[in-house]
Amino acid sequence: MHPCTRWDQAYSSDCCGIQPCDTKEDSESHGKVVNARNQPKENMMSETPNDAAPTNIVWGVVNDIMFWSKIKGGLKRTGYPLRRIRTDLELMETLKAETPGVIIVDMGNDAMNAFAVVQTLKEDERYQSIPILAFCNHDDVAAFTRARSLGANNVVTNGVFSVSMDDLVKELMEGDDDEL
C-alpha cells in the first residue's frame, strides 16, 4: 500500500506525486485514505452516528506537550472545556459520543496524518460543520496551503496560534467568519 494512503502515518513530502507507486496495489490505492485496518475512509465513521448538537467543548488534536500546555493555558481565559485527542482511533471513538464546538489540529502531529483528519471530517456531512483551527510551522507553506484546501476553517502559523489562540477559538465558536 502506498504510504500516503495511511490514515495513521504522518504526511511525508515524498508522498502524493513525488514518490512513484512501485506496485499495482500501490497505484490502485494511491490517493485513497484508509485507516490502520485498511478500511476505506468512507467506512471509518459509519458506526453509530452521533446526532448530538455541537457543544462548547474544544478538542485539541495534539501530541506535542509544549503545544498542549499552551492550549490549556490559552483557553483557560475563554472558559471553554478542553479535551485532548491523541490518535485517530480516539478521535473516531470520541466523535461517537459528543460533538465539539471547535477542533484544533496540529498539522505537524506525528501520531496521525493530520491532513487525513481534516479531509475526513470535512468530507463527512455529519461533521463538516465543526470548525477546524489548524496550525503549522511558519516555513511549511505546503502544509498551510494543503490544510486550507482540505477545508480547515482557519490555518495559522505556530507563532500566531500561540499568541492569538483564545481569540481564534472564540471567533470559530461564535461563528464569526468575517475575520477568517
Q: Which three cell numbers stand for residue 105?
A: 489540529
Domain 58-173: give its CATH superfamily.
Response regulator (3.40.50.2300)
| Residue 151 contacts residue 131 (beta carbons within 8 Å) | no
pLDDT at residue number 125: 92
Type of residue found at 91: L
Residues listed for the chain: 180
DSSP 28-44: HHTT--B-TT--BHHHH
- pLDDT for the residue numbered 50: 53
Q: Which positions ≥6 away from 52 have C-beta within 8 Å?
A: 97, 98, 99
Instruction: Return the domain boundaries, the chain.
Output: 58-173
Q: In what order do the strands lie in the sheet with 82-85?
A: 82-85, 58-61, 102-106, 132-136, 154-157
Spatial distance between the Cα atoms of 141 and 118, rounded to a whole number of angstroms:
17
Q: Is 104 left (phi over 0), alpha (psi -120 to 50) or beta?
A: beta
Strand spans (E) along the chain: 58-61, 82-85, 102-106, 132-136, 154-157
Residue at 72: amino acid letter:
K
Specify which residues 154 forms β-bridges with.
133
DSSP secondary structure code for residue 135 in this structure = E
- Could you tell me the mean pLDDT of each successive run of 10 residues in the chain, 180 residues long? 39 36 42 40 41 78 90 89 92 92 91 91 94 92 94 95 92 70
Per-residue model confidence (pLDDT) at position 144: 92
